[in-house]
């Protein structure tokens, strides 16, 4: 029997928390092999070996182009400002890409849309399989109940964006369930004499502290009762495993824009 060809993974942001977690998880999946890893120029990890079980010659570099050419799929957990160069390299190298970077704005999504015309792109605010299913539950609950919706999230002290990308994705799921525009119904910070809660709005609360990888709680509050739908992360390994599962799935897909729902085979909305 002919062995299936290994899927070559290129990791962007190799010196960060998620980059390190993804690199560590690759040897656990027999379908995958690490093609290489990069960090931004000037980062103190550039030039350092990745260490066992990888060969000593495999070091962290800072050049997108050669890595994109050597990879079947790039996995990107970096920063929004790096996205344009990353997508250009992926398109030039004909590499699919999984984008887990958060804090993206509309202009970044427009870049992703353009890239998806020529390569397979999967963008997710959260690569956890559990969060993917949670968003579907939130959408269904919001469609069925006209109760108040509040979303709270907790992340480590070093996270730079708020609310988290996952919290916003859960808010978007609730808004879809109600057929409304999240931007128009978001309350993203309350302080002082704010007045009564606006009916139909979706509230967000962002907490920062310690080393928490990410907790999310969606509360649907009615008169005399409340539903709480939540997800707690115990280790960044779940994001790494989800991202690599997405990469393996994406490797054989044609050009287009995909989501974690597609990876799990969830019904089209």
Q: What is the set of active-site residues?
A: 155, 159
Measured distance CA(165)–CA(162) in Å, rounded: 8
Measured distance CA(119)–CA(96) in Å, rounded: 6
Residue 83 and residue 121 in contact, taking contact as beta carbons nearer than 8 Å = no
Residue 17 and residue 214 in contact, taking contact as beta carbons nearer than 8 Å = no
Measured distance CA(124)–CA(237) in Å, rounded: 16
Contacts for 225 with CB less than 8 Å, ≥ 6 apart: none
Residue 157 and residue 17 in contact, taking contact as beta carbons nearer than 8 Å = no
10 Å Cβ neighbour count for 235?
Answer: 10
Measured distance CA(50)–CA(191) in Å, rounded: 46
The backbone torsions φ and ψ at residue 59, rounded to the nearest 5 degrees and listed phi first, read -120, 165
Contacts for 229 with CB less than 8 Å, ≥ 6 apart: 134, 137, 138, 141, 217, 218, 220
């Amino acid at each position: 029997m002919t062995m299936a060809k290994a899927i070559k993974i290129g990791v962007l942001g190799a010196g960060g928390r998620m980059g390190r977690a993804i690199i560590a998880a690759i040897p656990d999946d027999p379908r995958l092999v690490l093609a290489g890893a990069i960090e931004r120029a000037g980062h103190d990890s550039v030039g350092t070996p990745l260490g066992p079980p990888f060969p000593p010659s495999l070091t962290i570099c800072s050049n997108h182009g050669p890595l994109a050419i050597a990879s079947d799929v790039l996995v990107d957990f970096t920063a929004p400002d790096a996205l344009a160069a990353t997508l250009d390299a992926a398109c030039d190298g004909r590499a699919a890409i999984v984008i887990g970077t958060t804090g993206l704005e509309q202009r970044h999504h427009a870049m992703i849309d353009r890239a998806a015309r020529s390569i397979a792109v999967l963008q997710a605010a959260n690569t956890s399989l559990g969060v993917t299913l949670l968003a579907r539950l939130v959408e269904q609950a919001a469609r069925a109940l006209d109760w108040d919706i509040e979303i709270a999230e907790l992340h480590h002290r070093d996270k730079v964006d708020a609310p988290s990308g996952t919290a916003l994705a859960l808010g978007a799921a609730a808004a879809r369930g109600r057929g409304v525009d999240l931007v128009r119904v978001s309350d993203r910070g309350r302080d002082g004499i704010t007045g009564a809660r606006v009916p139909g709005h979706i509230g967000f609360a962002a907490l920062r502290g310690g080393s928490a990888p990410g907790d999310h709680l969606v509360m649907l509050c009615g008169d005399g009762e409340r539903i709480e739908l939540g997800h707690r992360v115990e280790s960044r390994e779940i994001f790494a495993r989800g991202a690599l599962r997405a990469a393996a799935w994406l490797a054989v897909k044609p050009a287009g824009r995909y989501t974690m729902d597609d990876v799990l085979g969830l019904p089209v909305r």
